[in-house]
Amino acid sequence: MRLEALHHITMITGDARDNVRFYADVLGLRMVKKTVNFDDPLSYHLYYGDETGAPGSILTWFEAPGAPSGRAGAGMIHRIDLGVPSAAALDFWAERLATHGVAAERTGDALVFADPDGLALALVVAGPNPPLTARHPEVPAEHAITGLEAVRAYAPADPDAVDPVLTELLGFTYAGEGAYDATGEERTFRLAFDAAPPEPGRSGAGTVHHIAWASRDEDHLGWQDRMARAGARVSPVMDRDYFRSIYFRVPVGLLFEIATLSPGFAVDEDPERLGEELRLPAMHQHLREHLERTLTPLDNPRSALAG
Ligand code: ZN
C-alpha cells in the first residue's frame, strides 16, 4: 500500500473574486469546480487544477468573505511550490506577474511571490513529474504550470529528527534537511520543514487549511485502518462527491487528508464545462436558491473563452 503522492491542498481566502482572478486568470490554472464547503455549505469551495483537475494539480479554497489575514506558524504550511517546465518559463512568469502588478523575487531556481490573500507561492523548475497543465490564451503551453511540486511547513520541533509517522506509517522517504518525499507510481511530492518563527500561527485568509494525499480507491479503507491502529484520531470516510476522504492530524501539527483518486470532477459536469456552474452535493441541494442569492457571484474565466 503506497500513497500516490499529492491529491490537493486547501486554503482559506477572504475574497473569492480576487482568488478566481489570480489563479484562473493570472496563473492560468483551470477552475474545475465551483461548489460549497460540504461541512459548512454557506461558503464556497473552489477547485483549480489542470484541464481535468487531476490529483497532483489541485489547489482549493474555502471562502470566508472578509476574513482577517492569518499567519503561518509552527505546524502550518507556509509556502506552496508550483512546477514550470524550464528556466525560460520562470522568465516568462516574472514578466507576466509584473504586468499584473504582482511583486515577485527570483531566488536561485525559484520565483517567489504571494497571492492576493498573502499566501506565499513559488514557481520552480519541475522535477520528473509528468506535466499536468491547463490551457490559457495568454500562457504559451511551454510555460504553463505543470502541477504541484512541494510545500514548505514550519516544524514545531527539531527538523532533523526523522518523523516516524511520515516515514513508517505514511511511507514518505526522508530526503535530509527536514524534507520528505511522497513518491507514488506516477508522481513525487516534497514536504519540507523549516524552523518555525517565534510568533504563533493564526488561521485566516491566506493560510493553508489542510493537505491531501492521494490513495488508490482500493487502498483507502486500509489507510484508515492503519492510521486508527497507530492511535491517530482518524475521521470516518467522508463522501466528497469527487473523491472520498479521511482526515487526521499528524504530531507536527498539520491536518492531513487521504483522498481517493476517483471519481474525479467530471462525475457531475461535462468535462468541457467544468467549474462553470454552482454544483451542490445531494445533501445541500435544498440550499441552492439561498446560495445563489448569497454567495459572491463568480464567473469562470473559461466560460468567456468558450463563448
Ligand atoms: Zn481536502
Give 267 Cα–ligand 1 centroid separation in angstroms: 17
Whose grid coordinates read 466560460?
303
Task: Tell me if 179 is assigned to some domain.
Answer: yes
So what's the pLDDT on residue 73?
A: 96
Q: How far is CA 264 from the centre of its chain?
A: 15
Give 98 Cα–ligand 1 centroid separation in angstroms: 31
> 116 is in which domain, residue-wise?
6-306
Give 94 Cα–ligand 1 centroid separation in angstroms: 30
Question: Which of 80, 67, 68 has the alpha carbon at shortest distance from 210?
Answer: 80
Q: Looking at residues 18-31, what average pLDDT do you find?
A: 98
Structure confidence by residue, pLDDT tens digits, 66-86: 999 999 999 999 999 999 999
So what's the pLDDT on residue 305?
A: 67
Give 39 Cα–ligand 1 centroid separation in angstroms: 11
Give 258 Cα–ligand 1 centroid separation in angstroms: 8
Give 37 Cα–ligand 1 centroid separation in angstroms: 10
Task: Tell me if 1 is assigned to some domain.
Answer: no
Task: Tell me if 85 is assigned to some domain.
Answer: yes
So what's the pLDDT on residue 306?
A: 60
Domain count, the chain: 1
Task: Tell me if 20 is assigned to some domain.
Answer: yes
Q: What is the CATH number of the domain that holds 87?
A: 3.10.180.10
Instruction: Check whether 259 has a pLDDT greater than 90.
Output: yes
Q: What is the 3-state secondary structure (H, E, C) of the chain?
A: CCCCCEEEEEEEECCHHHHHHHHHHHCCCEEEEEEEECCEEEEEEEEEECCCCCCCCEEEEEECCCCCECECCCCCEEEEEEEECCHHHHHHHHHHHHHCCCCEEEECCEEEEECCCCCEEEEEECCCCCCCCCCECCECHHHCCCEEEEEEEEECCCCCCCCHHHHHHCCCEEEECCEEEEECCCCEEEEEEEECCCCCCECCECCEEEEEEEECHHHHHHHHHHHHHCCCCCCCCEECCCCEEEEEECCCCCEEEEEECCCCHHHCCCHHHCCCCECCCHHHHHHHHHHHHHCCCCCCHHHHHHC
Give 211 Cα–ligand 1 centroid separation in angstroms: 6
Give 108 Cα–ligand 1 centroid separation in angstroms: 31
**The whole model's pTM is what?**
0.97
Task: Tell me if 72 is assigned to some domain.
Answer: yes
Task: Tell me if 228 is assigned to some domain.
Answer: yes
Structure confidence by residue, pLDDT tens digits, 47-66: 999 999 999 999 999 999 99
Strand partners, 176: 179
Give 303 Cα–ligand 1 centroid separation in angstroms: 25
Nearest-angstrom CA–CA distance, 51 and 71: 31
Structure confidence by residue, pLDDT tens digits, 112-168: 999 999 999 999 999 999 999 999 999 999 999 999 999 999 987 676 778 999 999
Give 3 Cα–ligand 1 centroid separation in angstroms: 15
Instruction: Check whether 27 has a pLDDT greater than 90.
Output: yes
Reported confidence tier of residue 108, pLDDT bands at 50, 70, 90: confident
Give 307 Cα–ligand 1 centroid separation in angstroms: 31
Q: Which residues surround ligand 1, an ion (CB under 5 A)?
A: 10, 212, 257
So what's the pLDDT on residue 168?
A: 95
Q: Looking at residues 13-25, what average pLDDT do you find?
A: 97
Instruction: Check whether 15 has a pLDDT greater than 90.
Output: yes
Give 162 Cα–ligand 1 centroid separation in angstroms: 25
Task: Tell me if 135 is assigned to some domain.
Answer: yes
Structure confidence by residue, pLDDT tens digits, 201-250: 999 999 999 999 999 999 999 999 999 999 999 999 999 999 999 999 99
Give 53 Cα–ligand 1 centroid separation in angstroms: 13
User: How far is residue 164 from each of residues 159, 161, 212, measured CA to CA in Å?
Assistant: 13, 9, 19
So what's the pLDDT on residue 184?
A: 96
So what's the pLDDT on residue 161?
A: 79
Give 7 Cα–ligand 1 centroid separation in angstroms: 8
So what's the pLDDT on residue 162?
A: 84
Give 88 Cα–ligand 1 centroid separation in angstroms: 33
Average pLDDT score, the chain: 95
Reported confidence tier of residue 303, pLDDT bands at 50, 70, 90: confident
Structure confidence by residue, pLDDT tens digits, 169-199: 999 999 999 999 999 999 999 999 999 999 9
Whose grid coordinates read 493553508?
208
So what's the pLDDT on residue 157?
A: 66
Give 299 Cα–ligand 1 centroid separation in angstroms: 23
